[in-house]
A and B are shown apart, each in its own frame.
Chain A
Amino acid sequence: MFSHYIDLSWRSFKRTPLVSLLMVIAIGVGIGITMTSLSVYHMMSMDPIPEKSDKLFAVQLQSMDEGESWWSPDSMPYQLTYRDTENLLNADLPFKRAALMKTGFSVHLNSDKVKPFLEQTRVASRDAFDMFNLSFINGGVWSKEQESSAAPVAVISQSISKKLFGTSNSVGETFYLDDLSVRVVGVIEDWKLHIKYFDLNNGSFNKPEHIFIPFSLIKANEIDTWGNTNGWKHEPVKVFNDKLQSEKFWLQFWVELNNASEKRVFEAYLENYIAEEKKAGRFTREKAEYKLRDVNQWISYWEVVNEDNKIMVALSFMFLAVCLANILGLLLAKFLRRAPEVGVRRALGASKKQVFFQHIVEVGMLGLFGGVIGIIVAQVGLFGIRQSLSYYDALANMDISMLMTAPLIAISACIIAGLYPAWLVCNTTPATYLKTQ
C-alpha cells in the first residue's frame, strides 16, 4: 500500500508541477537557511571533548583586592598569576594538572634546508597530553626529571614534524625555537579542535598549537606569553622576574577530577592554599573565592557562542514558520481542488484513514525533496560563510547529525503543515462530488 501511495504522490506531483515545485522550493529554502545557522550554532556549542568534559576543570582564584572588579560575568579573573600556577602545579596532590601558556617562536634548523617560519607554541606541564587526550605516534611526553630541570625538549605534531624533518618519526632530532636548540621527544597526531577550550583568551576558534615545550622553560628561558597579560594594580615590570613575582594574570590552569569526592579534596586544598597565602599578605579579601568550571561550563562562561549566531538561529526558525504557513496554504489549495477525485475513491471503498494516510505520504515526500534541496542550500550557505570568515573553516560545516536532521525537520514540518489539509480532504462527503460528475 505504501508504495502505491508513493506512486500516487508522484503522479500528483507531476499533475501540478508548478505548485509542487513551489512548495518544494519553499520548504527547501526554509530548511536551508535554518540548517545553515543551526549548523554553525551546533558546531560552536558542541562539546569539544565529550568523553571527559565533566572531569576537566578550569581553576580560577580571586586574588584581587577587595573592591577590584574584572570584566568576567562574576568578576573572577580568567587567568592565574605565575606564582599561583607554580604552587598549584607543584602541590603534593594525586590529581593530573595542566599549566598552560601560549607563546611563539621563529622555528628553524639553523640551516638553509627549511625556510624559517613563525609558529605558535604551547607551554605545558606534562600531564596536559594525557588530560586533553593527545595521542602520540612516536616517542612520548618528556620525563618528570626533564620537566623539573627545564630540559630543552619538545613534543611536536605530525604535520610540523613532516614540515621540518620530512618524516613523522622525528624523535631525537633537534630544531631551533629562536636561538634555543630543542630536542624532539615525542610526535603527536595533529590536535584537531573546533573550539580552543583550554585557552579561550585569544580567539575561541583559533587553531591549537603544533609545538609543546615544558612549563619550566618559562622561568629558565624567560619565555613571555603571546596571549593576554592582565593586571589590576600598578606594578612596574622592568625585568622578567618582576613579571613572575607580580600579581598579573597570564597563565591557564586545568585539573582533572574524576568524581565528586576528588573535587571536594581539591576544593579543600584550594581553601587551605588561599588561607596560607593570606598569611603572606596576598588574597586580602575576607572570603576565600575560587571557581572550578568544567569544560562546558567554561565554554558558556566565556560566551563562546556569539550572540549574532543566536539571533540568526531565532530569525531563521521564524523564517521556517513563514515557509510552513506558505506550504500549508498551497497544500490546502491543492488538496481541496482534488476533492472530486477523493470523492470517487471514497465511494469506491477507500476508508477515511486510507485517504488521510495517502495525503500524509504525499506531504512527507514533499518534505523529503525539500530536505534534499535544503541540504544543498545549506551547503551553499556554509560555503559562503567559510569564504568570508577563514577561522570558520572548521565551524561552518554540517556533521552527520546535522545532515540527518535536515530531512527530519523538513519531513516533520511538512507533515505538521499537511495534517489539516489532509484531514479536511479525507472528510470529503463522496455524495457531493459524485453528484456533479
Chain B
Amino acid sequence: MLEIKPIFNALLRSKVGAVLLLIQIAITTAIVSNAAFIIKDRLDYLNQPTGYEEENIFKFNVMTFGTDVDLIQQVDLDEQMLRAMPGVVDAVQISAVPLSGGGSSTGFRLKPVPEKSKSVNASYFETDEHGLNTLGVNLIAGRNFTEDEVVLNRDYSKFPKVALATKALMDELYPGEDGLGKVIYMGDQPLTIVGIIGMMKGPWLKLENRKDKSVLLPTVSPGKLHQFLVRTEPERRAEVMKQIESAMHSNYAKRVIQDLTGLDVKKADYVAEDRLMMRMLVILISVLVLVTALGIFGLTLFNINKRTKQIGTRRALGARKSAIISYFVVENSLICIAGLVLGVCGAVLLGQQLMAHYSVPALSNWYVAITAVAVFVMSLLAVIGPARRAANIDPSIATRTI
C-alpha cells in the first residue's frame, strides 16, 4: 500500500543524493544525542542545590598593610560594625568562601596522627559563632558552638576542642551511626562534633567526593589578608555592598578592600567554563539540526524539480494528491530510518569513545531514542512542504512538453 518497492527502486537510481542524506542524518543523530546528554549533565551540575541563599550573601577581602593594629581586635571591631549596618542579617570573618574554588582541605581521621586510621578528606572553614548564621545553612542536629568555645589565635598554638561537621562527612567516617557527639581528629588534635549540618557545599563543586564534606572550626586567626562573609536581608545586598569600602576604611584606613563580590557571582565564575561548554553545545545542536533540515528540504525540492514530468504523468493517470505526498514522505522516511539505524550505532560508539577518553558519564540510551524520534519528526516536517508543492503540479505539465 505504501508502494515501498517502486520507491526503493527509484531510490537506487539516484543513490548519491540518498546516501548523502543518510550520512547527514546519521552524524546528526550521533552528535545531537551525545551533546544533549552532556548538556543535561552540565545543567544538573549548574543547578544543584548548595544550601545557601546565594543572592543574599557577599564576600570581600581585606589586605592590611598597616602594622599599628592587632588584627584579631580589628576583626572584632569590623564584625560589630558590619552586623550593625542596616539590612545586614549577620557578618563574619571566615577562612574560605564556599563555591569559590578556593579554600583549605585536610584529612579528618578516627584516630590521631601517627596512628593508622581511616581518613576522609573534607574542606574546613575557620570562623566564629556567627559563621553558621551568616552562611545560613541548616543545622539538623545538635547546637552551634558558643563564643567561649571560639579560639583566638595569633600563631596556631591553640586549637579548638569542638566543631560542626556536615552529615555527609560524619556518615562516611561513622557509617550507620549518629555522628553527633563523636570525636574526629585533625592531625593529632581531637574535635568533638557538637552539631551536624545538613546541606552545605564546600569551596569545590567540581570535586564530587569532597563537595558535601565540610567542617566549621571555631577559630579566629586572621592573616594580613583575610576575608569576610556577609548575609543581608532579601533585595538589600546591593545597597549594603556599596557602603562596605568606605565603612571599612572609616574603621581603619591602612588596608585594601578587594574582591567585593556576591556569592552567586563567585559561583558563576567558578562554573563559567561548564556554562560556556553548555551554551556552545546548545548552539551547535540547534544549528546542526537546522542545517540537516535544510539539507532534506533542498534535496526533496531538487527531486521534485527533476521529476516534474513523472509526477504530472502520474497525476494525469489518476493518482491522487495524497498519493504524491505519501510518495515523498515514504521515500524520505526510508532514507531517514536507514540513517537513524546508522546514527544510533554511531551515537553509542561516540558515547563510548567520549567516556573512554574524557570524564563524560555513560550515555543513557534514552537520549539516543529521544534524539532518533526527534530527528525523524524533524525530517517529516522538512519534507512535508516540498511534497505538497509536488502534489500541486498540474497534470497538464506532463502532456505539454512531450
Contacts and interface: CB of A to CB of B under 8 A. Distances in A.
Given A106-B255, A118-B258, A329 B358 contact: no
Given A108-B65, A118-B256, A333-B17, A26 B299 contact: no
A106 B272 contact: no
Contacts of B287: 29, 33, 319
A310 B256 contact: no
Contacts of A390: 269
Interface in B294-323: 294-295, 298-299, 301-302, 305-306
B5 to A, nearest CB: 25
Contacts of B354: 311
A381 B279 CA distance: 11
A238 interface: yes
A334 to B, nearest CB: 8
Contact of B28 (A178, A322, A333): A322
A26 B294 contact: yes
B65 A178 contact: yes
A385 B65 contact: no
Nearest to A312: B280
A388 B276 contact: yes
A389 interface: yes
Contacts of A333: 17, 298-299, 301-302, 305
Interface residues of B, number: 61
Max chain A CB contacts within 10 Å: which of B65, B287, B288, B301? B65
B188 interface: yes
Interface residues of A, number: 52
A13 interface: no
A337 interface: yes
A326 B65 contact: no
Contacts of B381: none
B65 A315 contact: no
Contact of B291 (A37, A322, A337): A322
Nearest to B188: A234
A234 B114 contact: yes
B261 to A, nearest CB: 13
Interface of A is mostly: helix
Interface string A372-407: 000000000100110011100000000000000000
Interface string B248-285: 00000011101000000000010011111101110110
Contact of A319 (B16, B31, B155, B294): B31
Given A26-B294, A322-B28, A315 B61 contact: no
Interface in B170-228: 187-188, 224-225
Max chain A CB contacts within 10 Å: which of B20, B258, B274, B359? B20
A389 B358 contact: no
A326 B292 contact: yes
Interface string B31-48: 100110010000000000
Given A318-B31, A322-B24, A337-B305, A176 B288 contact: no
A308 interface: yes
Contacts of A26: 291, 294
Contacts of A381: 280, 283
B298 A389 contact: no
A70 interface: no
Contacts of A323: 291
5 contacts: A238-B155, A307-B358, A315-B34, A319-B31, A326-B24
Interchain residue pairs A-B with the least CB separation, the first 5:
A333-B302, A326-B295, A106-B65, A234-B113, A307-B358
Given A116-B254, A330-B299, A389-B276, 8 more contacts: A178-B65, A236-B187, A311-B38, A311-B360, A326-B294, A328-B20, A330-B302, A337-B302
Interface of A: 19, 22, 26, 29-30, 33, 36-37, 104-106, 108, 116-118, 176, 178-179, 234, 236-239, 306-308, 310-312, 315-316, 318-319, 321-323, 325-326, 328-330, 332-333, 336-337, 381, 384-385, 388-390, 420
